[in-house]
Every structure is written in structure tokens, then in C-alpha cells.
Amino acid sequence: MSDPYGRTWWGRKWWRALETIGLNYPDQRIVRGRALAGHGSVTGLAIEPGLVSGRVADANGAFDAQIAIPVYNASAWAAGMTALSLSPSCVAGLLAGRLPKRIDDVLAETGMRLLPKKFVTEDHNRITTSCGCADAREVCAHIMALALVSAARMDDDPWLVLLLRGGPTRDLAGRLRAARLASMEAAQPVA
């Protein structure tokens, strides 16, 4: 049976990032988080720039859980879109409605990274969490459940990953075209 959370590489990378910042196998929080996610215990899931939030209920109560990640500003995204527009495989993937596997390699040329890599500690990749439960660990079962359920949402809608990082989510085709034109004009010798 395939994993319902993170059927895509980006969804998997998202929840694994959470798992690796706070937990080691075997950890009951992973098992409990997965059970909570599977039982529909996460409600009010919201994914917005810099923040994933939701309410997670278990036998001890209902807890507000949040996962925060830094956003890139508009000028960083403009540079990122230009880099992406010059990569045919990235343009093809994005226009087909998925995140191309090379996206982080291409964005890395401009110092960006869409999804945090394991154990990477640059400021722009620093994930922080908060949960109302008594567990003092950075990643409790509720955060794990929220990570899994949000990963499944991102599987279905990859633009949520761009949104989470403060990126463009509308008219991606138009923006890629405009970025490519602008970089071609910039490269043209002045007559």
C-alpha cells in the first residue's frame, strides 16, 4: 500500500523535514502522529505564507499546532522565477502542474530552496513549531500529524509549497514567460 502522506517527492520531503528536525526512529510520536492523521484528528488545516496550522485532537484534548518556515521576499522570488524560466525541464514540469525534481537545484543558483533539506540549518530553512500540548519536544505527535496531513494536501496541490515560501501561485505560465523575456532583453547587447 502506498503512503497516503507524501505520495509526491515534495510532500514526502515536507513531512520528513519535520521528522528529522525533532525525532529519531523509533519514536512513538511518529506512530501516534500517523494514527492521529489517519483518524481525521486534524481539523482547520491552513497553509499560508510562512505557516501551516491546524487543530489536533486526541484523548487529552484539542491542541492548536503550528509549523512556521521563513518566506522569501518578492525580489528573491523574481530572481528564482528567472532561474526557473531558463530551465526547460522546470518550465515543462511547472506548466504540467507539478514541481519538477530539479526545482531546488535550479533555485539554489539564486540561494533559494523550496523545501528544507535534512539537517540544513541556514536561516531561511529553519522550521519552528508550536503546539499547545504538554510535550516539550519540538516535534510532538500533534506536529507530526499536522505535517503528514499538510503533506497530503501539498501532494494534491503543489502550488501550496510555493505559497508556503511566499512565492507566486497565480498565472505561473505568464510569470515564467515574463521572467524569461526580461532576462533575454537584459542579455541583449545595447545597440
The CB-of-143 to Zn ion minimum distance in angstroms stands at 6
Least CB distance to Zn ion at residue 96 (A): 37
Instruction: With contacts defined by CB under 5 A, name the span among 37-45, 69-77, 98-106, 125-133 that binds Zn ion.
Output: 125-133
The smaller minimum CB distance to Zn ion, of residues 139 and 163, is found at 139
Q: Which of residues 132-171 bind Zn ion (CB under 5 A)?
A: 133, 140, 142
- Rounded to 10 degrees, the C-alpha dihedral 27/28/33/36 comes to 170
CB of 10 to Zn ion, least distance (A): 24
* Cβ closest to Zn ion, residue 113 vs residue 142: 142
Angle at 86 between CA 153 and CA 99, to 5 degrees: 15
Residue number with CB closer to Zn ion (52 or 71): 52
Residue type for 154, please?
A: M
For residue 14, the 8-state DSSP code is: H
Q: Give the binding-site size for Zn ion (rule: CB under 5 A).
A: 4
CB 162 within 8 A of CB 52: no
| Contact with Zn ion (CB under 5 A) among 112, 115, 131, 148 | 131
Nearer to Zn ion, 5 or 10 (CB): 5
Q: Count the Cβ atoms, other than its own, within 10 Å of residue 18.
A: 25
| Cα 2 to Cα 6: distance, rounded to the nearest angstrom | 9
With respect to Zn ion, which residue has the nearer C-beta, 131 or 163?
A: 131
What are the angstrom distances between the C-alpha of 75 and each of 71, 72, 79, 110, 137? 12, 8, 6, 11, 35
Residues that bind Zn ion (CB under 5 A): 131, 133, 140, 142
